[in-house]
Amino acid sequence: MGINSVGYHGAMTEITTSELLAELHKAADAVASTAAKFTDEDVKAPSGLPGWTRGHVLAHLAGISNAMARQLEFSARGASVELYDGGQDGRTKAIEMAAGHDADAHRADLQAGLDRALTAFDSLEGDAGWQASIAYRGGVVFDGGLALWRELVIHTADLGAATVPRRGAGRSASTSSTSWRPVSRREKNLCCSHSGSRP
C-alpha cells in the first residue's frame, strides 16, 4: 500500500499504510492490556499527567478513539464532522463525566472505542481510502491514523505501562520520559491538542 513520510525528531523515514495499520492494532492491544490490570482503586490514582487520574486518561482514550472513528465514518459517506461533539468544551465535559467510572466501565468504554476505530481503519480500501479528506485539522485519513497511534502510545505510558513502542509516540509535554513521535511531512502537528490545565 502507499508510503508516507514520517518524521522522528527531525529525521524523515517512511511508513506504509499497512505498517501504520499494524501499529494501530499493536497500540490498541497495549492500552487494552494495561487497562485490564486496573482495579477500581487503580483508576482513581494519579496518572503521568498533572491533574489527571488514570480514569481521566482512560476516558480521553475512549473519547479520541470514538472521535477518530467518526471522522472515518463520515468521510466514507463524503461528509465532514468536527472531531468532538461540542468541540473542545464537549470533549472536556465528556472526560470529566466519565473519569469517575469504575474499572469495568472504563474497560468496556475503551474497548468499544478501540474496536470502532480499528474497524474503521481496517475497512479502508487502498490508497484512496487513506487519502480521503477528514475534518480533523484539514487532513486526510492517514493523518488521523498517525494522530490516533500517537495518542494511544503516549497515554499508555501515562497510565504507567512499561511498554516501549517500536515506532511510538512523541514526548509528552507533561512527562519526563522520551519516546518517538510519528509526524507526517505534510502536517507536523497532528497530535490531538490538549487545552486548559489538563491534556
In a domain, 189, yes or no: no
Ordered DSSP codes for the chain? --EEEEEETTEEEEEEHHHHHHHHHHHHHHHHHHHHT--HHHHHSB-SSTT-BHHHHHHHHHHHHHHHHHHHHHHHTT----SSTTHHHHHHHHHHHHTT--HHHHHHHHHHHHHHHHHHHHT--HHHHHT-B-SGGG-BHHHHHHHHHHHHHHHHHHTT-----TT-PPPPTT-S------EESS-S--SPP--TT--
For 68-94, the pLDDT digits (tens) are 999 999 999 999 999 999 999 999 999
Query: CA–CA separation, 58 vs 85, rounded Å?
Result: 18
**pLDDT at site 1:** 52
In a domain, 199, yes or no: no
The amino acid occupying position 2 is: G
Number of domains in the chain: 1
Percent of the chain with pLDDT over 90: 71
**Grid cell locating 173:** 509535554
The amino acid occupying position 76 is: A
The CATH number that applies at residue 81 is 1.20.120.450
* Among the ranges given (7-21, 22-36, 123-137, 160-174), the one the predictor scored with the smallest mean pLDDT: 160-174
For 88-111, the pLDDT digits (tens) are 999 999 999 999 999 999 999 999
User: For residue 171, which of 7, 9, 4, 1 has the smallest C-alpha distance?
Assistant: 9
Q: pTM to 2 decimals?
A: 0.79
Q: How confident is the model at residue 2 (pLDDT cuts 50, 70, 90)?
A: low
Locus of grid cell 519516546: 179
The amino acid occupying position 192 is: C
In a domain, 191, yes or no: no
Domain limits for position 82? 3-184
In a domain, 196, yes or no: no
**pLDDT at site 160:** 86
In a domain, 156, yes or no: yes
Q: How confident is the model at residue 4 (pLDDT cuts 50, 70, 90)?
A: low
Residue 113 has pLDDT above 50, yes or no: yes
Query: CA–CA separation, 158 vs 184, rounded Å?
Result: 23
**pLDDT at site 161:** 45
User: For residue 64, which of 97, 102, 109, 101 has the smallest C-alpha distance?
Assistant: 109
In a domain, 194, yes or no: no
In a domain, 198, yes or no: no
Residue 33 has pLDDT above 50, yes or no: yes
Residue 26 has pLDDT above 80, yes or no: yes
Q: Which residues does 79 contact at the CB level (< 8 Å), separation at least 6?
A: none
In a domain, 140, yes or no: yes
How far is it between the farthest Cα atoms of the chain?
Answer: 45
